[in-house]
Structure 1
């Protein structure tokens, strides 16, 4: 198995952006990542936090299907993700396996190694270099 990551993708409105949903579905179809779990979290204008399964949205229906799906995102994860959101916004909460790194991860584990840290570098920092 490759590295697994919990990702929160925030959007400025209480509704998902179709382009983002299509991009996530495209990554899954290409096999770059394997979607293990996902939820949609909304923080309403009044501050109420809501969580919904993918199957409650037409554009996400069937995205989490098959034997590889595991329910890993819990209520505490939803609360922590909601703290990152502005009122009147929503987020896709995703647990993904980086399939592209699977062979390297297997080789590292076979050699007795393990991933001991990971840092996501913000896009604006990388753009400065590029």
Structure 2
């Protein structure tokens, strides 16, 4: 299953779409869920700015920047017992990929340094079992 998400949609709508698709993924049992996100500025690839609880399923987020894309800076956020922690993950360049354990994360986002440019990031969620 694959769906393209455009960040021109409101963040709350994107969050609802991702939540619905995640529910479908974990209920369908097909073992894999894919989506593509257009990044311009700061865009959440997983979770969202207003999400207070971390995800508590064993799953891996696989990210890959498009071959024609721009470099993106990745960060994550946890909120455990009301204590929020932000972690800089690093930078991915065009064509590069990374796996991130989603357990306890409330958000993973990407930022393109130049807001006039955008890039696509392919995302895949896999069960970590």
Q: Which of 1 and 2 has greater Rg?
A: 1
TM-score range with shorter-chain normalisation? 0.3 to 0.5
Structure with the larger strand share? 2
Work out which structure has the larger RCO, using CA pairs closer than 8 Å and 6 or more positions apart in sequence: 1
TM-score by length of 1: 0.34
